[in-house]
Amino acid sequence: MDEQQEKSKHRGLRKGLYVIPTLFTAANVAMGFLAVIWSIRGFHASFIDPQLAADYFDYSALAIGFAILFDTLDGRLARATRTATDIGVQFDSLADVLTFGIAPAALVYAWSIGGIFEERSFAYNLGISLLFAYLMCGAFRLARFNLQATRPRVLEQGAGKVDKKNFIGLPIPPAGGLMVSLIHFAPMPLSTYGESSAKLYGYLLMMLVGILGVLMVSKMRYSSMKAAGAGPRGILLLVLIAAVGMFVFFYSRYALLAISGIYVLHGPVWSLVRAITQRHITDERPSA
């Protein structure tokens, strides 16, 4: 009897562990929902009280920032507790479409495009089209990631190893994170910058949105950070994380923009370095 009670107790504990990653994913959804609400409030306030609008835009950007943290933790907790499930993967992807696809697009529209370009103008339609393209690229990127999760990508060399260290294409959380970190850095609506400057910044922002969409559906490799902390360098990593955490706490506007920018850029830089290195090795090989 005691043995059966012990087994029942462990079974109940095991079931409880499955709930923990789901709670973090639910928190991710909640942050995305609040970000959309605050973006709407900010857009309406931008025509009346720009400072109030800036506060709402900043709240929205920070909510998406917290969602990135929750999204990172739910995956790591699922792997650490061995509670990863197929439905958990699908739920996480659906949450990411909202929080890192729809919410950043709504925030960018409310902060910039909706306030600086006349409705139905060429620039306005272009901005809407690029935001929709960003959302579609993000959804495609998540669908491809889910397929890779169920059918792991084999390394190009043909070996039977699975490349768990890298993502193929820019993940949608850092793509959305870069856009919202710009808004967190300067939350005042672009319409307050003057007509010429606002439109210039608006076009540059649309260019960034387009580039992020292309990077998400590209085949560039991005570090997954899944192997970070393994081995003897774990303590050094903890110290580095603590230092970065303090930097984010005191200088979030600069730190978040720098971190997201570096991550987005390291994919193209890494691909360029690999291409140059491989070409150099090929040139050095003696011809037959």
Query: What pLDDT is recorded for position 188?
Result: 95
What are residue 166's DSSP bridge partners?
A: 223
Q: Could you read off the pLDDT of 83-101 as tens digits, one per residue?
A: 666 677 788 888 999 999 9
Q: Which residues contact 255 (CB under 8 A, 6 or more apart)?
A: 244, 247, 248
Residue 137 to residue 118: CA distance in whole angstroms: 26
Query: What pLDDT is recorded for position 20?
Result: 75
Backbone angles phi, psi at 131, to 5 degrees: -65, -40
Query: What pLDDT is recorded for position 245?
Result: 76
Contact (Cβ atoms closer than 8 angstroms) between residue 92 and residue 74: yes
Task: Name the DSSP class of 188.
Answer: S
Tokens at residue 202, please? 């608006």
In the chain, the number of structural domains is 1
The single-letter code of the amino acid at 207 is M
CA–CA distance from 133 to each of 71, 130, 209, 270 (Å)? 23, 5, 9, 25
**Which residue shows structure tokens 């991005």?**
222
By residue range, what is the domain housing residue 156? 2-284
CA atoms within 13 A on the CB side of 78: 21
Contact (Cβ atoms closer than 8 angstroms) between residue 169 and residue 131: no
The one-digit pLDDT tens for each residue of the chain (288 residues) are 455 555 444 454 455 556 777 888 899 999 999 999 999 999 999 999 999 999 999 999 999 999 998 888 877 776 666 666 667 778 888 899 999 999 999 999 999 999 999 998 999 999 999 999 999 999 999 988 877 766 654 444 444 444 567 788 899 999 999 999 999 999 999 999 998 999 999 999 999 999 999 999 998 888 877 655 555 555 676 677 677 778 787 888 999 999 999 999 998 998 888 888 877 666 666 554
Residue 180 to residue 138: CA distance in whole angstroms: 15
Burial class from Cβ neighbours inside 10 Å (0-12, 13-18, 19+) for residue 141 reads buried
Query: What pLDDT is recorded for position 1?
Result: 47
Contact (Cβ atoms closer than 8 angstroms) between residue 243 and residue 196: no
The single-letter code of the amino acid at 166 is N
The single-letter code of the amino acid at 137 is C
